[in-house]
Structure 1
Amino acid sequence: MFELKPDPWFEDGRKKAVYAGEAMIVSPNPQAAMAGYDMLRAGGSAMDAAIAAMAMTSVVEASQAGPGGDCFALVHDPRGGLRAYNGSGAAPSALSADYLLAQGFAEVPRVSPHSVTIPGAVEAWCRLHADYGRLERARVFAPAIEAAEAGVVLHPRIVRDWHAALPDLRAQPLAARHFLKDGAAPPLGARWRLPGYAALFREIVREGATAFYESAFAERLVGQLRALGGLHSLEDFAGHRGEYVEPVTTQAHGQTFAECPPNGQGAAALILIRLLEAALKGGSLDSALGHHILAEASKIAFALRDDLIADGNPDAASLDALLSDASIARLSAGILPDRAARRLRARDYVPHHKDTSYVSVVDRDGLTVSLISSIYTDFGSTLCEAETGVILQNRGAGFALAEGHPNRLAGGRRPMHTIIPAMALKGGQPMLSFGVTGGHYQPVGHAVLAQAIFGEQMDPQEALNLPRSQCQDSVLMVEAVLGEAQRRDLAARGHEVAVSGHPLGGGHAIRIDHERGVLVGGSDSRRDGLVIGY
């Protein structure tokens, strides 16, 4: 892991890993990373830093995450072990699949109040801060409040996504008011203010989670959603609670990999990690064979995910059986090294999305936080609260309406979630805190990092620099940086190869070397992120 590199390694133009000895944070935006770093330097905990960074992300990457979205976390405390937190919200209690079918919908409309599940991020931030924070809430939210009021300078990736969402923003008068200027998206390097976000954060500092769920803000929000035809109630908001849950785990590469349980898709990531290890058999990810094996393993993992994973399903015993050695051996035996299998997905109901924000932090006391938040698609539902401009997620678009589907929409039920934080542990100690944004790419990204870091001994940045591919159904999407020779090889194996029109995912990771007391961080060049430590 720490061997000296030859001179050409320094000349290849790729990002290099960052090293630190005490504490480290990695975030998808420099301003968010600095906000968290300031907490660490001020004596705050990793959780203080993570929440400060995520609050800042809500301002600098409002299209990706924010108080109108959901949140999941894995937290390892040296004194209390590993815990997972599910900060996702449910559908309004009065909403059902039958109601939408009767309205003539074949699926949950992405841009509609029916796609807006109760946002869980604010409750999660407040609960996690109460349990693991050291600094006052005012100190933690101060950087985000200042940035929202003074304005933030926009970075390349967020401007790209902003312009891609322009038609959707123009279609919503309130979104256009808060996120466009004269009907246009901001240019690169523009300064953008979100004073309404600052106002809400000030209320959260004073009142905690009640400022979002039991307040004048909640009354305005519910009234607005109901005026649009939504079935939300004040009771739905006041009754929201996140929960600590038992992580799901599996053994691979000599590590224990941990994910959040369903309703997140973490179990699919664990299946894919195991399948890739078994089928690649020591081969290199950075090869045509590596991309082929990854594609075939992904088809299996996604087919299982779409047929099994939902709120409360499958149970722990079923997951254990699915991840058993016998199950993995049976599943991996069907992966052929020279031929692509047919499309395996049985249900195609989850809309594509690529927007999420992830932060990883390790503090000087060893508290390790892997935290992820999202409003789902670009600018979520594009519906926003009128006074503050807070964008509301459209996570409800992840529900199915079909009778008998495990992820069928029902009032009070949480949809299947794509956002998944992760950790790898050995002997009960965290060895890697990591996450990969990018919707359905996330399980693939987790498997790639696991294989590259633990199977091929790359550092986190080297693993994140690898060219990427993704096969969720019948098409193998590849990044433009994947060489023409490898694309031809993959086509010869029977894949329908297409170049992706956007970067695949955006990962961040911190490797923890307990023996040497060293932290090694990586931040994906596909995002505007930064690793910083001391």
Structure 2
Amino acid sequence: MSPHPRQPVFAPNGAVATSQPLAAAAGLAVLRRGGSAVDAALATAITLTVVQPGSNDIGGDLFAIVWDGHRLHGLNGSGRSPAGLTREVVLAATGGRGAEPTAAHGGDQAVGPAMPARGWLPVTVPGAPAGWRDLHERFGRLPFADLFADAVGYAEHGFPVSPRVAASWDRSVRVHAELVGEEYAEWGRVFTVDGGRAPRAGERWRNPDAAGTLRRIAATGAVDFYTGQLAGTLVEHAARTGGVLGGDDLAGHRSTWVDPVRAGYRGHEVWELPPNGQGVAALLALNILDGVELAALDPAERLHWQIEAVKLGFADAHAYVADPERVTVPTAELLTPEYAAARRALVTDTAGTPAPGDPARGGTVYLCAADADGMMVSLIQSNYLGFGSYVVPTGLGFGLQNRGAGFSLDPAHPNVVAPGKRPFHTIIPGFLTRGGEPVGPFGVMGGHMQPQGHVQVVSATVDDALDPQAALDRPRWYWHAGRALLVEPGLAAGGDGVERLRARGHEITVEADPSAFGYGQAIWRLPGGGYVAGSEPRADGCAVGH
């Protein structure tokens, strides 16, 4: 990545890693005051809604994996679609055609009409505020309201915007300029300056409306967000500007505690959350690769196997992942060794475009935190696609996610849009253990990049014994659909590997924009005690410890 790569952070008592330094500092301050790793993660996450608002916000979702010192717990904090959202409503609102498929809709499943990506139609109930509360109720030590102090302070008094955030914000302003409708007006008031531009790097930016919203969430344990004044304002805004989100939709929201699912990989266990997230795509790929001696292969062949395994993982994830409360998702069947062997046999010497198998026959922010007592947290939260829906309720200072863009409009697909349903979700926290003992939390945010980033970071860690920072520094590749492959310049510079991949049929583009390859963080437990942490070199953030 750089001629002067970052060095890993070693810490005896605890660590926090995320994509914005002020948020990492907020989490570290909580650790130093005696907070748990969950307290630190929540302070970091809440602060990220203010200091990195395009990637996440109060109106987004979250997922988390927590190692409590003895076992793993998973929290699915994703929201459901409104009761008034049906396939017929979407088709009627879009002239019967849906939206044009784009990269937003995920890999090669983007065929036929798609859910709109902006406005009210893709808005689902925000799950982040309830997720913060539920994590704190089970694992927090400090008072809930204390975790909001830095976020409220930055929203009220302002902070200098960091460079990567400023660059992505500028792109989002250009997107907003093309959106027409009353529902988009408040976004321009809240998230632009001087009549319509993004804040520049180093420029101080304030969001006092968000400060007020955060205070009410802190004071009421998020109750006000779902049944109180905040909920009423949100519902009124929906009724006035064409939304279908109602009071009962908000009042009925619940987080779900789940058991993480795993794949074995060379004596380690890689853990993800079960559907409705796409974590199974990473596990499917790792199950395939676990039967291949990658260390014995030349670099090009090794990359070929990783890419093809990821394609197979995505083919199944896009075919089967949906809300398990509404349909049967064959998660256990997808993760059997027999199914992995059958899928592995499909990999040839040339780039493929695989179809899903039949298992029955056999933009986001990521953060991690760890404390002195051995608790570790892997947490990810997101709007989706940079500022989400671009719908901002009047006077509340936050944007609503557009996770409903992940639904299908195919009536035969298990992920078809329907009332009260959770969509296919891209955001996935990861966790690594070895023989049942914790190694640590990790994640790579970035839509379709996330399972691919998980595979690449796990391989760098397990196959090549790299520390977290070195694993994150390593040049990456990104596959989206077909045989097209993006690679970073550092990967292209490594001998003749790229040309050898081209000879296998991969259609390679060297991409200099680092945002195409996701932003990751990782913290590993040291054998003698303490932690080693790394933070994404492609983002503004850092790892910090004490």
Task: Settle same-fold status: TM greater than 0.5.
Answer: yes
For structure 1, list consecutive stretches of 5 or more residues without a partner in the other structure. Answer: 1-8, 347-354
Deviates more, 1:252-261 or 1:402-411: 252-261
| Aligned pairs for 1:212-361 within 5 A | 212-279=225-292, 281-283=294-296, 287-312=299-324, 318-336=330-348, 338-342=349-353, 344=355, 355-361=363-369
- 1:362 corresponds to 2:364: no
Judge conservation of contact 1:46–1:368 (CA < 8 Å) in 2.
yes
TM-score, scaled to structure 2: 0.90
- 1:399 corresponds to 2:441: no
Say which of 95, 98, 113 aligns to 2:88. 98
The CA distance in 2 between the partners of 1:219 and 1:253, in whole Å, is: 52
Judge conservation of contact 1:64–1:378 (CA < 8 Å) in 2.
yes
The aligned amino acid for 1:477 is: L
Q: CA deviation at 1:322?
A: 2.0
Equivalent position SS for 2:295: coil
Q: 1:517 to 1:448 in 2, by over 3 A?
A: same
The aligned amino acid for 2:122 is: S
Aligned to 2:432: 424
Say which of 154, 158, 173 aligns to 1:166. 173
- 1:138 corresponds to 2:129: no
Equivalent position SS for 1:114: coil
Equivalent position SS for 1:184: coil
Q: CA deviation at 1:188?
A: 1.2
Aligned to 1:59: 50
Q: CA deviation at 1:333?
A: 2.0
Q: CA deviation at 1:518?
A: 3.0
Aligned to 1:466: 474
Residue deviations 1:306-351, cap 9 Å, x none? 1111111898993233222222122112222x311136479xxxxx
Aligned to 1:84: 74
The CA distance in 2 between the partners of 1:507 and 1:290, in whole Å, is: 22
Equivalent position SS for 1:400: coil
Q: 1:197 to 1:214 in 2, by over 3 A?
A: same
Q: CA deviation at 1:269?
A: 1.2
Equivalent position SS for 1:498: strand
Aligned to 1:498: 509
Judge conservation of contact 1:262–1:314 (CA < 8 Å) in 2.
no
The CA distance in 1 between the partners of 2:312 and 2:50, in whole Å, is: 38
Q: 1:345 to 1:154 in 2, by over 3 A?
A: farther
Equivalent position SS for 1:359: strand
The aligned amino acid for 1:327 is: Y
Q: CA deviation at 1:283?
A: 4.7
The CA distance in 2 between the partners of 1:209 and 1:139, in whole Å, is: 14
Judge conservation of contact 2:294–2:302 (CA < 8 Å) in 1.
no
The CA distance in 2 between the partners of 1:312 and 1:254, in whole Å, is: 30
Deviates more, 1:411-420 or 1:516-525: 516-525
Aligned to 1:489: 500
The CA distance in 2 between the partners of 1:317 and 1:409, in whole Å, is: 16
The CA distance in 2 between the partners of 1:214 and 1:284, in whole Å, is: 57
The CA distance in 1 between the partners of 2:326 and 2:400, in whole Å, is: 29
The CA distance in 2 between the partners of 1:75 and 1:259, in whole Å, is: 11
The CA distance in 2 between the partners of 1:453 and 1:315, in whole Å, is: 35
Q: 1:314 to 1:480 in 2, by over 3 A?
A: farther
The CA distance in 1 between the partners of 2:16 and 2:152, in whole Å, is: 20
Say which of 65, 68, 73 aligns to 2:59. 68
The CA distance in 2 between the partners of 1:280 and 1:180, in whole Å, is: 52
The aligned amino acid for 1:291 is: L
Judge conservation of contact 1:441–1:504 (CA < 8 Å) in 2.
yes
Equivalent position SS for 1:174: helix
- 1:35 corresponds to 2:26: yes
Q: CA deviation at 1:12?
A: 4.1
Residue deviations 1:397-456, cap 9 Å, x none? 000011110100110000010100011123433112101101111111111111110121
Aligned to 1:26: 17
The CA distance in 2 between the partners of 1:395 and 1:176, in whole Å, is: 21
- 1:375 corresponds to 2:383: yes
Say which of 157, 168, 179 aligns to 2:164. 157
Deviates more, 1:59-68 or 1:318-327: 318-327
Q: Please report the RMSD computed on the Cα atoms of aligned residues, expressed in angstroms.
A: 2.0
Aligned to 1:186: 199
Q: 1:16 to 1:289 in 2, by over 3 A?
A: farther
- 1:126 corresponds to 2:133: yes
Residue deviations 1:220-245, cap 9 Å, x none? 21121232322211010011010101
Q: CA deviation at 1:280?
A: 5.4
Aligned to 1:412: 420
Q: CA deviation at 1:498?
A: 1.9
For structure 2, list consecutive stretches of 5 or more residues without a partner in the other structure. Answer: 99-112, 358-362
Equivalent position SS for 1:516: coil
Equivalent position SS for 2:116: coil
The aligned amino acid for 1:220 is: T
The aligned amino acid for 1:138 is: A
The CA distance in 2 between the partners of 1:471 and 1:140, in whole Å, is: 38
The CA distance in 2 between the partners of 1:465 and 1:503, in whole Å, is: 14
The CA distance in 2 between the partners of 1:284 and 1:314, in whole Å, is: 43
Aligned to 2:7: 16
Q: CA deviation at 1:190?
A: 0.8
The CA distance in 1 between the partners of 2:212 and 2:17, in whole Å, is: 27
Q: CA deviation at 1:159?
A: 0.8
The CA distance in 1 between the partners of 2:34 and 2:296, in whole Å, is: 44
- 1:444 corresponds to 2:434: no
The aligned amino acid for 1:494 is: G
The CA distance in 1 between the partners of 2:189 and 2:456, in whole Å, is: 41
Equivalent position SS for 1:482: helix
The CA distance in 1 between the partners of 2:277 and 2:387, in whole Å, is: 21
Q: CA deviation at 1:75?
A: 0.7
Q: CA deviation at 1:489?
A: 2.2
Residue deviations 1:75-103, cap 9 Å, x none? 11125x21100000000012111222233
Equivalent position SS for 2:491: coil
Q: CA deviation at 1:252?
A: 1.2
Residue deviations 1:476-519, cap 9 Å, x none? 11223332543322211111112344430111000112x31131
The sequence identity of aligned pairs, in percent, is: 38
The CA distance in 2 between the partners of 1:283 and 1:452, in whole Å, is: 15
| Aligned pairs for 1:108-123 within 5 A | 108-123=115-130
Judge conservation of contact 1:280–1:293 (CA < 8 Å) in 2.
no
Judge conservation of contact 1:69–1:392 (CA < 8 Å) in 2.
yes
The CA distance in 1 between the partners of 2:135 and 2:297, in whole Å, is: 39
Residue deviations 1:173-199, cap 9 Å, x none? 211111111211111111110111110
Equivalent position SS for 1:43: coil
The CA distance in 2 between the partners of 1:132 and 1:110, in whole Å, is: 35
Q: CA deviation at 1:472?
A: 2.7
The CA distance in 2 between the partners of 1:316 and 1:429, in whole Å, is: 31
Judge conservation of contact 2:372–2:530 (CA < 8 Å) in 1.
no
Aligned to 1:480: 489
Equivalent position SS for 1:231: coil
